[in-house]
Structure formats: structure tokens, C-alpha cells
Chain A
Amino acid sequence: MTPDRDRIAERLAAVGYVADRDLATALWLMDFLKRPLLLEGEAGVGKTEVAKALAAVHQAELIRLQCYEGLDQNAALYEWNYQRQLLAIKAHEGAGASADAIEEHIFSEKYLLERPLLAAIRRDKPPVLLVDEVDRADEEFEAFLLELLSDFQVSIPELGTVTARSIPRVVLTSNGTRELSDALRRRCLYHYVDFPDVEREARIVTTRLPHIDEALAQQVARMVAALRKEDLRKVPGVAETLDWAATLAGLEVHDLRQAPEAVHETLICLLKTHEDRARLSREVTDRLLGKVA
């Protein structure tokens, strides 16, 4: 395996993700060391996209586990299909089966519902497992996840131990709403995803919106970069940039300087709170436009 990160970056670009070189290195390392990758960064920098792109590059299935407060093993690992179990009990009762036989029957593979974590280790071809916003889950769940990530096996009391058929590529993302445990951090490789620089953001825009003017993409990227330096409550992410660029293209704007009116009106694509909207008055927008265009 060669650490040709340019090639990795190319392959990512081919599936629509414009990666910086360091991220390409991290993704190579993830395969090389077979360790999970923890991505941190502000909301909206495209952390989740990394996993999607990775799945596309490897043509693997993407299995996503969205974490939330109170997420438990039933929702993350497996659950029994109760309706079917009840039916089966009734059906077997009529046939006069013994309680032991019924129990054995209803706690078999047939009645097991896979949830993301179990699904991820029971695939023949290694999938990409995305554990999204792991910081939102409880600490207990984090500990459980850690155990799974080191052994890649799970025990189901009624059924026995399930060992991984293939080791999934694991990507975890965190927004930093809670401090993650040191153990989990140690287990993972780490990459901090920053907002893309102007150059890369322009390339993201042109990759995702192939019909847009090169020059407009540059201007949009510069404008958004300038906006991010303002003191905003909610800093616009990459998705917002794309929305805005698409809107401008739809309004047939080719040069931001020519259409300050349209720029000011379409800023709602980028600014998502009333406070930020009020802060960016017409004068401020014009000043920023003067600087970037």
C-alpha cells in the first residue's frame, strides 16, 4: 500500500468531495493502521460528508448511527422483533410445543432486528460505519462503543457471541458539546476539520455545481470567508455556501459587484438567526463586498 495521498484526494474528488491533503493522509493512515478516525470541528465543516465520500471511494455500504441523548443498546445494536415473537408463541402453543422449544425458536436469528452497530460487523464486505455526533450520546454508551471498537465482537445473551466478519472502517464525528473520554480519544486517530480555505471552498462550489462560473465561485468563497470573520452567532458552513452559490446562479448573477441588491437579499441562505441578520446591515454587506470583490 503506498501512501499516495494525492491519489486518495483525487479519488475523493471523483466522488464529489474536495479534501485537503492532510485529511487524505489521515484517511490513508486509517486504512494502514486499521484504527477508527475521530473527526472534530465546527458544525457545518463537512465532517459527515467525509464518511459518505469514503464509502463512495471504497464502494462500500455506509452504515450510519446518529447519536443522541439516551441512545441505548436496543437502538444501536439489536432488538428482538416482538410482534413476530408473540405470534410465534401463540402458533407453537397450538401445536403443543414445550416452553423450552418455543424459547429456543423465538430467540433465533429469524427474530433478530439488526441495528447499525450489529449490522456493521456482520457484513461480508467491510462497510463504512459512521458514528455521528458521538458527543451527544451518554458516557455509558461511549464506554460500550469503545469495547466494540477494540474487539469487534458483541455478545447477545440469548444467542451467543457475534464476531465481526469484516472490520468496518469507522468514522466518528464530534461537535464538542461534551468532552469525550480519554480512552476513546486514545483509541482513535484524530483529525481536526477546519473551514476550507478560499481556494478549496471555491473548488467545492465548482465541483458540486458544475454549471457555475469559475469567477463567481471565487467571489462567493471569498465573501463567505470574510463573513466567517465577523462576530456571528451561527457561522455559515459549507452547505450554506453551496446553497448561496446555487441561489446566486439561479438568479443569474455573474458578478457580485454588479448585483449588491441580490447579494443582500440572498444572505438569508447564510445567516440563520435574526441577530446575525440584523448585524449584517446593508452598509456592512457593501463594505465586505468592496473588500472581496
Chain B
Amino acid sequence: MSPAAMSEPVATIGANLRRRLAGFTRTLRDNGFAVGLAETRDALAILASPAGARPALLMPALRTLFCADHSDWQRFAEIFAAFWRGRGVRRMQPAASMPSRRRPSLQHLAQSAAVPAAPRPQDPVESGDGEAGDEMADRREHATAASTAERLAAADLRHIVDVREIAQTHALAERLAHRMRARLVRREQARRRGRRIDLRRTIHRSVSHGGTPIDLAWRRRKVKPLRLVVLLDGSGSMELYTAFFVRFLHGVVDAFRESEAFVFHTRLAHVSASLRDRDVARAVDRLSLMAQGMGGGTRIGECLAAFNRWHAKRVITSRTAVMIVSDGYDTGAPERLADEMRRLRRRCRRIIWLNPLIGWRDYAPEARGMQAALPYVDLFAPAHNLASLAALEPYLARI
């Protein structure tokens, strides 16, 4: 649309209508629509066009303009009717997506209190010593940090009770996720280097040799990194581990650009969006509350069914590994779980089942649900401490 054509409709529309339109775009924004200036301007153009005089045409036209995805599309008609027919609904967000920050548990209060107390990397400006002293202090600090990290990595998560240590473990879990991603990517790049000749650049270089391709240019094939989908069991029996895994999840979602996270107990919740919150503490807090759930039994089979039916098509590709973190105590029918596992297996590249109980002495996967699921699992691994999580990395690299 040319600027001249743009300015004309704006002039022909009454101030009243313009105000109403501004109100409408504000309502849309309140409802989570991404409406910018360009859209508002185009909306004015539509109102000034012959379509503006025909209400039957106006709704579909504005819907096509303002919507950006299917969920917008589904809600638009209702919001449109509410606004233009004067019922003036301001906000229609589902209650589930509202951050419920009113009742943080005792545990989380303790954690957030502990965070500032956790050791920080020393600031060289503030310490005021000579350079040598700085270095010494630095090294000492690193050494203690490293040994603490080592000890924490090996300890069963159940046995870490000190709030400071809990905070450190969580930070470690998050870092582990980041590191995993970085290493996976680097390994991939090294392996793929120089597979194919880049003809375009080779020809370019060969001009100076009279057309003889002496200096070959190689093309690096870009490989899409592994996608990771994590399903975390948030039921009562996993209670001791959830807070920690939530932290790990946050790290995963942050580090793997293409990853999705779900939490389930009696039902399944898609939590990637809440995890993408920049504020770590808030994201984890919100999620922990969700993960704590109702304290009822786990229905793994049904949750997987919901996942297969509603989410799998969107989040799973041929390069996706699905990681299920659960102890396998399922209150539903094992046949159902087996069915859904089979379905899931067909879709994705690998299924990894992490079970914190494996780390316990004398554990055998006797839970009926676990028995039913095992035939479809590619890797059944312990996840009771950080070391066991770190051990996963080489496996992920081979996928």
C-alpha cells in the first residue's frame, strides 16, 4: 500500500470510530494478540474501504488481519462480538495460565531465601588485593566450588537437605543442561566438517587459476540439533525429586532451542511457555506448584494418550528424543500404558526413561506400569543424582 493511499482513509474516518478501533486493538492486546501499529493502520484502511460499511464482511476481514495463529483465530469471533456489541469483555484468559503466586510452599520460600547466600564468583574490583592475591583467591574459590560440585553430583538427591546445598544442586542441574547442549552441538560440527564441495565458492576461487579448481571450498552441512521433549512425573511418589528436575527442565528448555517440556500427574500440562520466563526463580516457582499437583495417583497411560493425541504431532519430529522422568508407579491399567508407549515409540527417534529409583540399592523395575513400558524404552537409566544425569550425555550424542 502506498503512503498516499494510506493517508487517505485515515482522513475520511471519524474521530469517534478511530477511538473505538483503538479501544478494540487494546482489548485484543489484553487478550494476548500481537497487534502493532501496522495492523491498526491496515484496519483503518479496511474500515474506510467499502468493506467497512458491511458488518458481515468486517468481522472476517479484521480476523484475517489481526490473528496470527489458530488459538487467536478461535477466540476472535467472541472478542469481536463482545467488543462491538457493547458487552466489553476486557480479558478472557484461561485461569490456568495465570501465574498462581499466592501460596508458595515453605520449601520454596526457604530456597529463595537461600539464593543470595550462595557463593558468587569473586569480584576482582571489590576485593582490593594485589593481582597475585586475586588469583590465589580465585583458584581457592574454584577448587572449593569444584569439590562441592563433585560431592553434590554423587549424592542421592534425597539426602541433600541443607538449603544452601539444594540451591547449589539446582544451579548445577541447570548448568548441566546447558553444557550438554553445547557439547552435543560442537561434536556434531566437528564430525560433519568438509563433507561436500561448495561449488559456488570453488568456482570463484578457481578463476585466478584459469578455471582449474585447485583451491577447494568445502561446504559444511548444517545439521539440525537434537530436539528434546521431556515429560516429567509430578506425582506424590516423585515428590523428593520434582523440585530438582524442574530446575533441570528449565535448563533444558533454555539451552536446547527446540525443546518442549510437559509435567504430568493425573493430567498433562504443557509447561514450556512458563519455563521460558527469564526470571528463573519465578518460572521454577510457578512450575513447582503445578508439579506438586493434587497429590493423587499418577495416570501415566492417560497422560501419554493425551500427549500422543494433542501434542505429539506438533512437537515430535524424526530427530526428537523423548525423555520420560518417572518412577513408573501408575494407577491406570498397564495395557493402556503399553499401548500409548508403542504409539509414541513409532513417532520419535528414541525414548529415554529416567527412573530415580534405579539408584536405590536392590531396585528391580517391578511396578506393573514400569514392566509394561520397558519393551518400548531405548534407554532405561537412573537419575537419582547429578552424575547419573551427566552420564546421559554421550548417549544423547549418539542419537
Contact = CB atoms under 8 A, between A and B. Distances in A.
Interface of A: 1-3, 5, 21-22, 25-26, 28-29, 32-35, 37, 40, 69-70, 74, 79-80, 82, 85-86, 89-90, 93, 99, 102-103, 106, 138, 176-179, 182, 185-186, 189-192
Nearest to B222: A70
Given A26-B64, A79-B200, A176-B314, A93 B210 contact: yes
Given A22-B60, A85-B203, A182 B73 contact: no
Contacts of A89: 206-207, 210-211
A74 B64 contact: no
Interface string B337-379: 0000000000000000000000000000000000000000000
B240 interface: no
Interface stretch (B50-58, B80-88, B133-141): B50-58
Contacts of B42: 33, 35
A289 B38 CA distance: 51
B69 interface: yes
A86 B206 CA distance: 9
B68 A185 contact: yes
Contacts of A178: 258, 317
Contacts of B199: 80, 82
B61 A29 contact: yes
A189 B64 contact: yes
A74 to B, nearest CB: 7
A32 B57 contact: no
A178 B314 CA distance: 6
Contacts of B207: 89, 99, 102-103, 106
B107 interface: no
A234 to B, nearest CB: 11
Contact of B64 (A138, A177, A185, A191): A191
A25 B211 contact: no
B67 interface: yes
A72 to B, nearest CB: 8
A164 B262 CA distance: 46
B396 interface: no
A93 B73 contact: no
B398 to A, nearest CB: 20
B165 interface: no
B200 A138 contact: no
Interface in B27-86: 34, 36, 38-39, 42, 45-46, 49-51, 54, 57, 60-61, 63-65, 67-70, 72-73
A235 B51 CA distance: 36
B101 interface: no
A86 B212 CA distance: 8
Interface in B224-280: 224, 258
B208 interface: yes
B49 A32 contact: yes
Contact of B50 (A2, A35, A99): A2
A191 B62 CA distance: 11
Contacts of A3: 49-51, 54, 57, 61
A93 B211 contact: yes
A186 B49 contact: no
B60 A26 contact: yes
A191 B1 CA distance: 20
30 contacts: A22-B60, A29-B64, A32-B46, A32-B49, A33-B42, A35-B42, A40-B70, A70-B224, A82-B200, A82-B203, A86-B203, A86-B211, A89-B207, A89-B210, A99-B210, A102-B207, A106-B207, A138-B224, A176-B70, A176-B314, A177-B313, A177-B317, A178-B258, A186-B38, A186-B68, A190-B64, A190-B68, A190-B72, A190-B73, A192-B67
A29 B211 contact: no
Nearest to B221: A70
Nearest to A87: B211
- A-B pairs with lowest CB-CB distance, top 7: A89-B211, A185-B68, A3-B51, A25-B60, A22-B60, A192-B73, A26-B64
Contacts of A82: 199-200, 203
A33 B70 contact: no
Nearest to B38: A186
- Interface centre among B45, B54, B57, by most chain A C-beta atoms within 10 angstroms, is B57
Nearest to A34: B1
A68 B246 CA distance: 34
A174 to B, nearest CB: 9
Given A86-B203, A185-B69, 12 more contacts: A26-B60, A40-B69, A70-B221, A70-B224, A82-B199, A86-B211, A93-B210, A102-B211, A186-B39, A189-B64, A190-B69, A192-B73
A92 to B, nearest CB: 9
Contacts of A90: 211
A265 B351 CA distance: 37
Contacts of A106: 203, 207
A32 B45 contact: yes
A191 B317 CA distance: 25
Contacts of A138: 222, 224
A138 B225 CA distance: 11
Nearest to A2: B50
Contacts of B65: 29, 33, 189
A186 B34 contact: yes
Nearest to A43: B313
A25 B64 contact: yes
Contact of B34 (A29, A102, A179, A185): A185
Contacts of B70: 40, 176, 192
A25 to B, nearest CB: 4
A244 to B, nearest CB: 24
A85 B211 CA distance: 9
A1 B50 CA distance: 8
Contacts of B73: 190, 192
Interface in B382-397: none
